[in-house]
Amino acid sequence: MNGAASNHVVVIGAGVVGVSSAIWLRRAGVKVTVVDRVEPGSSSSTSYGNAGVIAACSVAPVTAPGMVRNSPRMLLDPDFPLFLRWSYLPKLTPWLLKYLSHANDKDTRRISEGLAPILYDSPSQHEALSKGTQAEEWLVSSDYSFVYPSREAFEGDHYTWMLRRLAGFEPELLEGPAVQEYEPNLAADMNLLAVMHDHGYIRDPGRYIAALAEEAKELGAVFVKAEVKDFDLTGGRVTKVVTTGEDLDCTEVILATGVWSGALAKKLGLSVPLESERGYHIVFRSAENGPRTPMMVTSGKFVATPMKAGLRCAGVVEFGGLEAPASKAPLELLRRKVAQTFPNMTFEKEESWLGHRPAPSDSLPLIGEIGASGVFAGFGHHHIGLTAGPKTGRILAGLISGDRQNIDLSAYDPQRF
């Protein structure tokens, strides 16, 4: 397994984790085939529709102390960005109970400590992956700011900032007139910015992924458009990937299809408590008078990122499974919050999108080999997929090629459930 030129790795999934894995494997001289049912960077892929921020400081999980107590109020508040399709609740409940069981101080700190190692150096990981490739032009170094209406509101987030500080992230605080000097297009009632330096963003995530895929192809990776149906194993170890097209012989597999990975993992005897956290974005085409750099607007729990096409505003959490169409209420709330935050913004038109964040019940991704099967998990990144994707791909490639990263992977053990 360690760096043999005869290895053939099939990467299932052409999102950020999959294409990153393919590039690092090819740089190590390993034969690679990437298979996905859609083209890399396609609008139907999860990697296409994220907020675009390289959010190295995003070490605080959604499940925090007090969440169980506050959830009913959040669901019933039309101005809070949490939505539930009530018809889906019976199917959601087993996962939801596991998810909420982590909303305590001990588990929240443990999860945060688990997230930090795959996040802290994410800007440099993106740079190492894309430098000298067509993807490099889409990568921007920048601040990442958290917008608050007041000092009191900022201090109300003290627990989250405590977790960030423990991970080594200390914000620069701007208040009063300094807020408008930093970002003159913010509403006048936004009176505090917590600015994180040394972060970054992607000007077009879809084109970034497509460009990384082109780099993988130039390095010799083969891309196949098909849907994976099953695995063939010999003596408990994978030997073939069964697809809707040709079956693919292999020595190892990387499973990186986001929320759709759960069904394939189950074919290997691995049952993962994994749900879709439905996320929305709106691109305000050719927007003017928006923010200069990415901003998390805490009052609306959305991120506003200036991109090539316009201002992308992404956020909102909805639970409703993979099959239901987009809901109107999350998009309507997002529009209201954007208008309140950037009152002078103008734009040509809107484009809305719905995607599926892969949410494990403990908010930690699955990274590593599933038993001794030769199948390596690389999914379940929840809100940090774009940010942690390049490092995850590098870790997975290293596990196969022998160029291992200096990181303890026990927190991401695919069999921890």
Q: Is residue 318 part of a domain?
A: yes
Per-residue pLDDT at 5: 63
**CA distance linking residue 349 with residue 359, whole number of Å:** 31
Question: What average pLDDT does the chain have?
Answer: 95
Q: Is residue 407 part of a domain?
A: no
Alpha helices in 102-146 (DSSP H): 105-119, 122-130
Whether the Cβ atoms of residue 115 and residue 360 lie closer than 8 Å to each other = no
Q: Is residue 340 part of a domain?
A: yes
Q: Is residue 239 part of a domain?
A: no
CATH label of the domain that carries residue 80 = 3.30.9.10
pLDDT digits 0-9 by tens, 371-382? 999 999 999 999
Domain range enclosing 307:
59-103+141-195+274-360
Strand locations in 122-227 (E): 139-148, 172-175, 192-202, 222-225
Q: Is residue 243 part of a domain?
A: no
Tell me how crowded residue 384 is: count the other CB atoms within 10 A of its CB.
25
Please report where in the chains the tokens 């458009």 appear, as a residue. 225
199 pLDDT exceeds 90? yes
Q: Is residue 328 part of a domain?
A: yes
- Under the banding of pLDDT at 50, 70 and 90, the label for residue 4 is low
pLDDT digits 0-9 by tens, 226-281? 999 999 999 999 999 999 999 999 999 999 999 999 999 999 999 999 999 999 99
Tell me how crowded residue 349 is: count the other CB atoms within 10 A of its CB.
9
Q: Is residue 175 part of a domain?
A: yes
**CA distance linking residue 317 with residue 315, whole number of Å:** 7
Total count of residues recorded for the chain: 417
**CA distance linking residue 96 with residue 37, whole number of Å:** 29
How many domains does the chain contain in total?
1
pLDDT digits 0-9 by tens, 304-349? 999 999 999 998 889 999 999 999 999 999 999 999 999 999 999 9
**DSSP conformation letters of 297-320:** ETTTTEEEEE-SSEEEEEEEEEE-
70 pLDDT exceeds 90? no
Q: Tell me the backbone φ, ψ of residue 210, rounded to 5 degrees.
A: -60, -40
Q: Is residue 77 part of a domain?
A: yes
* 123 DSSP 8-state letter: H
